[in-house]
C-alpha cells in the first residue's frame, strides 16, 4: 500500500523566482532519493502538489511542508491509500513542471482520479488545467 496526498497553497509573497527554482531542485533531489513520486507545480503565486510513496514518509513530509514558511493557506485536496502510484509508471522520479512538460503522466494521473475518485475528479482536473494554462 502507498499513500498519496495532494494540496494547493499560496506562495509567500517574498518568494523570488530564483528561490522557487531552488526549491524545485531541492524537492526533485530529495524525493528521488526517497522514492517519492508525484508532481509540484507553481503558477501565479500558487503551488499544487501531489505526493506519492510510503505512508510514513508521505505523512512526515506533509507535516514538514505544512510548517514551511515559504507558503501558507495549505488546503488539502486528498489524502488516501493507493495500490499504484500514478506517477511511477513512466518515471520513478518527481516531476517538476517546467516549460517543456510531457503531459502523459498528468493525463494518466487524471484518468486514475476519474476512475477512483469521480467526485473529486472535476475539481482536480479544473485545478490542474488552470495551473497548466498559467505556467
Ligand X SMILES: Cc1cc2nc3c(=O)[nH]c(=O)nc-3n(C[C@H](O)[C@H](O)[C@H](O)COP(=O)(O)O)c2cc1C
Binding part of the chain for ligand X, among 25-33, 80-88, 95-103, 118-126 by CB under 6 A, reads 25-33
Shortest distance (Å) from residue 38 CB to ligand X = 7
Q: How many CB atoms lie within 10 A of CB 103?
A: 10
* Whether the Cβ atoms of residue 39 and residue 87 lie closer than 8 Å to each other: yes
What is the distance between the alpha carbons of residues 109 and 24, in angstroms, rounded to a whole number? 20
Shortest distance (Å) from residue 67 CB to ligand X = 7
Query: What angle, 0 to 180 degrees and rounded to 10, lies between the N-to-C axes of helices 104-116 and 118-134?
Result: 160
Which cell is 69 given? Answer: 514558511
Question: Of the two residues 63 and 133, which places its CB atom closer to ligand X in the complex?
Answer: 63
Sole binder of ligand X in the list 31, 50, 85, 96 (CB under 6 A): 31
* Whether the Cβ atoms of residue 6 and residue 51 lie closer than 8 Å to each other: yes
| Residue 19 binds ligand X (CB under 6 A) | no
Binding to ligand X (CB under 6 A) within 35-54 occurs at: 40, 47, 49, 51
Binding part of the chain for ligand X, among 27-35, 95-103, 105-113, 123-131 by CB under 6 A, reads 27-35
What is the distance between the alpha carbons of residues 48 and 81, in angstroms, rounded to a whole number? 19
Which cell is 31 given? Answer: 524525493
Residues that bind ligand X (CB under 6 A): 9, 23, 27, 30-31, 40, 47, 49, 51, 61, 64-65, 68, 70-71
Amino acid at each position: 500500500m502507498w499513500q498519496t496526498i495532494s494540496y494547493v497553497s499560496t506562495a509567500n509573497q517574498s518568494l523570488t523566482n530564483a528561490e522557487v527554482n531552488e526549491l524545485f531542485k531541492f524537492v526533485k533531489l530529495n524525493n528521488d532519493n526517497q522514492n517519492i513520486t508525484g508532481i509540484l507545480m507553481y503558477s501565479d503565486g500558487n503551488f499544487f502538489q501531489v505526493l506519492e510513496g510510503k505512508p510514513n514518509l508521505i505523512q512526515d513530509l506533509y507535516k514538514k511542508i505544512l510548517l514551511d514558511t515559504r507558503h501558507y493557506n495549505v488546503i488539502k485536496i486528498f489524502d488516501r491509500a493507493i495500490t499504484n502510484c500514478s506517477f511511477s509508471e513512466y518515471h520513478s522520479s518527481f516531476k517538476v513542471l517546467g516549460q517543456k512538460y510531457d503531459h502523459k503522466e498528468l493525463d494518466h494521473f487524471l484518468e486514475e482520479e476519474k476512475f477512483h475518485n469521480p467526485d473529486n475528479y472535476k475539481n482536480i482536473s479544473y485545478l490542474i488545467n488552470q495551473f497548466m494554462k498559467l505556467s
